[in-house]
Homo-oligomer: A and B are copies of this chain.
Amino acid sequence: MERPRHQGMAKNTYMRWRLPLICLLWEVAMIVLFGVFVRFGPEADAHWEEEKREMNLTSDIENDFYFRYPSFQDVHVMIFVGFGFLMTFLKRYGFGAVGFNFLLAAFGIQWALLMQGWFHSFKSGKILIGVENLINADFCVGSVCIAFGAILGKTSPIQLLVMTLFQVTLFAVNEYILLNLLHVKDAGGSMTIHTFGAYFGLVVTRILYRPNLEQSKDKQGSVYHSDLFAMIGTLYLWMYWPSFNSAISEHGDAQHRAAINTYCSLAACVLTTMAFSSMLQKKGKLDMVHIQNATLAGGVAVGTGAEMMLTPYGSLIVGFICGIVSTVGYVYLTPFLESRLHIQDTCGIHNLHAMPGLIGGIVGAITAAAATEDVYGKEGFIKAFDFTGTYQTRTASVQGGFQAAGIVVSLLMAFAGGTLVGAILKLPVWGDAAAENCFEDDVYWEVPEDEESDAYHMHNPEKAASP
């Protein structure tokens, strides 16, 4: 049942040869590069028994797998179900939300394993991978999922793959600068994932500005059940965020602490989101858009500080503030950005990731600058900030300065990268839909008959007659 208006499409959205070609060629490239470079790390390799002996480990439980695998799976759920379903709130873009997120993330994790591997796990010509690499690849792809939120419904799957290729590359470079050159701590990625990913996506959507987008305005809303599907995404992100922020922290207290801080921040964030959602609406009713998104801002904003001694009440304060900032952003800032700055931000990532990400970077810088041996203990202080080797003499306040520099670098990378990638995506060869067909699965997906078709009831003879 093709809707007539689609026959008037101005743009060529035909994917039949372009999408398969890119998918197949790039996957072949992945196979070749993996064949040349990627091998199992010592803890996943069959030589583990010898490794154990060398490292004087008495038990298999010391394998990093057991420290991190449960958190990895939680992160994995966040990327594929969390982000995927969070974006199903649109009434007719559920397939695109879940399906394209699936596609770009599945490609992105492979490319991220390579890019991050070259920077961080490269030994004698090979990238040696283990569970920590899998987590980091998911993290890297998380930043692409965030950017996807800004352009949701307005781009072709090819554009998304192209964006993923570039964004993963730039992510890895930025991450290398922050973690290795600036020696910055950012275990939950307030800077590397959220600030970078969100501003990158916002710049891209600015460049792809569509002046006639109000033509598909009727499809930019939700329906009752699409809002419930989106809540599945929200809740999995919210529940597993403690795993996200603790997944690659140091073994022991750091993982433990990061989980607790994140749990606290998120809990506080729910209350201020509810408060402001009701307060900013004339009728005082709650808005599902806020509940679905702003409740998560607390997790974003402790992404840097969670593994530090932020303390539970510090986390509550951060969550408290971010629920407010994010909800206010949805009410006032998003319309402003769209009308004045021509930034069309479908999911409101500016409110959920950009601002809380910045806050997170700042909180991290302050927490680092305020660190003392008294609070951390002598050994704990060194371990928490890895003040060893070249960094043996770095002080807490200097570390705070470098943390702040990390925010700036992430922003610069996001703006420069987003501009470049936005310009590439603007080329008229990628098969994006016309403005009146945005937010509509029909363009790229075989869509089944509507729910009220003949299967449900027979009272519409014309419809039942159509194929």
Contact of A46 among B99, B219, B309, B450 (CB under 8 A): B309
- Which residues of A, 244-300, contact B by the 8 Å Cβ criterion? 251-257, 259-260, 263-264, 266-268, 270-272, 274-276, 278-279, 281-288, 291, 295
Nearest CB in chain B to that of A286: its residue: B445
- Which residues of A, 66-105, contact B by the 8 Å Cβ criterion? 66-67, 69-71, 73-74, 76-77, 80-81, 84-85, 88, 91-92, 94-95, 98-99, 102-103
Any chain B CB within 8 A of the CB of A311? yes
A43–B375 Cα distance when bound, in Å, is: 14
Q: Does the CB pair B31–A317 fall under 8 Å?
A: yes
Please classify the interface of chain A as helix (H, G, I), strand (E, B), loop, or mixed, using the class held by over half of its residues. helix
A63–B287 Cα distance when bound, in Å, is: 41
A47–B384 Cα distance when bound, in Å, is: 10
Q: Given A225-B225, A267-B109 in contact, is the A14-B283 Cβ separation under 8 Å?
A: yes
Nearest CB in chain B to that of A19: its residue: B278
A49–B380 Cα distance when bound, in Å, is: 7
- Which residues of A, 289-333, contact B by the 8 Å Cβ criterion? 291, 295, 309, 311-313, 316-317, 320
Any chain B CB within 8 A of the CB of A340? no
Q: 10 closest A-B pairs (Cβ-Cβ)?
A: A16-B284, A46-B380, A48-B253, A106-B270, A60-B252, A34-B313, A23-B275, A60-B251, A20-B275, A46-B376
Other than the known A99-B288, A225-B229, what 12 A-B pairs have Cβ atoms closer than 8 Å? A23-B271, A31-B313, A31-B316, A40-B253, A45-B257, A47-B377, A63-B252, A70-B73, A73-B242, A110-B268, A223-B451, A286-B445
